[in-house]
Structures are given as C-alpha cells and as structure tokens.
A and B are shown apart, each in its own frame.
Chain A
C-alpha cells in the first residue's frame, strides 16, 4: 500500500528543545516537501528536496532543518530557534519538482505543540 507515513501523530516540545518529525514515502518519488499549516494561513512551504543529499529553503525555513540521506526519508527538525512552533506539519511528495502540474501526495500530518 503506497503512500507517505508521518510520525508521530502528536508531539510536544519543551522550551529550548529540538524535536524531529519523521516522514517516509514508498512512492518512489524524487521530490519531497515540508509544509506548515496554521489556521487561516493555508499551507506554507518550509523546505523541499528534489534529490537525495540536496534540499532547498522554502518560504519559512528559519528555525527548521532537514536532511535527505535516503530517497524514501525526509525528516524535519524543529529547533529551539523556532519561537512559535505550534502548528500542524505536513510532509508531501511528488514524482518530480518543477512541472506545473505536479501532483502532491500528503501524509496525515504531525500536530506539534509547546509544553
């Protein structure tokens, strides 16, 4: 059953703590993305990766970091520098980036809250 798996579903962060959100895909897609969803603000792009060992900043990358060591995996770390981390985080993939009609496949998201 192909798709994108995000874990955990809920995550709590303490002050000054870094936390890592997991994203795995078995769709054999080249491109992967991280979005942040806040009520009334739509989906904002944090980071994206078009190929293994390469990634680019999106519109709101400050306070976040990523890695792409394997095609299937694209973890997101929310660092202590991100002062307002409470949000719903969505991982997505597409066959490739750059085509206008790219179809994004999303995971079920991780809700991150600050303790």
Chain B
C-alpha cells in the first residue's frame, strides 16, 4: 500500500525557473516530512524537512509548503540551476519512514 504519493514522475525546467514537486499522504499519524536529494550513482541525502505544526519552511532556494488539512506537501526550488538536476524523494515518518516514488528533475541551461 503506497502511503505517500509523489508527482510528477519527471520534470524539466529551464534555468532560473521554479521547480515544484508535490506529495500527498493518507496516514494522519505522520509527524515528520523530509525531502531527500539523490544525484546519479549516489545515495540520497537529506535536503530539508518540516513538521506538520508549520505551514512553510525555507532553506536558501528550497521551500517546503505544508497543507495539513489537505494532507499534502510540496517542494519548491526557486531559481533552479543545472546543478539541481537530481532525483527528489519526499517521505513521511512516524517512527517508520515511507518514501514517495521519486521525481527526476532536469534543469536545462
């Protein structure tokens, strides 16, 4: 049973544009929502995370928006750069971490 649904599966953005990746969850017990970034041939690394008691968290060009009532959260990458090209995974946890399906982001120069 897929508890975290992520979209789109792939995304192409021009340099300087905004990249938006969306995730939805069902289990209201989730209380921690991290995003992991994975470069080709490497393991994922924690990028940014949010708790459900806040609606937004920003770190540099990366922002998580969280809508508790809709059970949705999203990653926004402002001023996208070719170096941001990677696979992004959302996840949700309540002591056990569940990952979304992943989004392959390509930023064209």
Contact = CB atoms under 8 A, between A and B. Distances in A.
Interface of A: 4, 6, 40-45, 90, 92, 97-109
Interface stretch (B13-21, B56-64, B71-79, B88-96): B88-96
Contacts, number: 53
A54 to B, nearest CB: 16
8 contacts: A4-B43, A40-B9, A40-B101, A100-B31, A101-B32, A104-B97, A105-B45, A109-B43
Contacts of A101: 32, 49, 51, 93
Contacts of B42: 106, 108-109
Given A40-B101, A42-B89, A104-B36, 4 more contacts: A6-B43, A90-B43, A90-B44, A101-B51
Greatest chain B CB density within 10 A among A100, A104, A106, A109 is at A100
A108 B42 CA distance: 4
B44 A106 contact: yes
B41 interface: yes
A54 B31 CA distance: 27
Sorting the interface of chain B by its residue count into under 10, 10 to 19, 20 to 34 or 35 or more gives: 20 to 34
Contact of B93 (A4, A40, A102): A102
Interface in B80-109: 89, 93-95, 97, 99-102
Contacts of B99: 42-44
Contacts of B95: 97-100
A40 B101 CA distance: 5
A92 B101 contact: no
Contacts of A6: 43
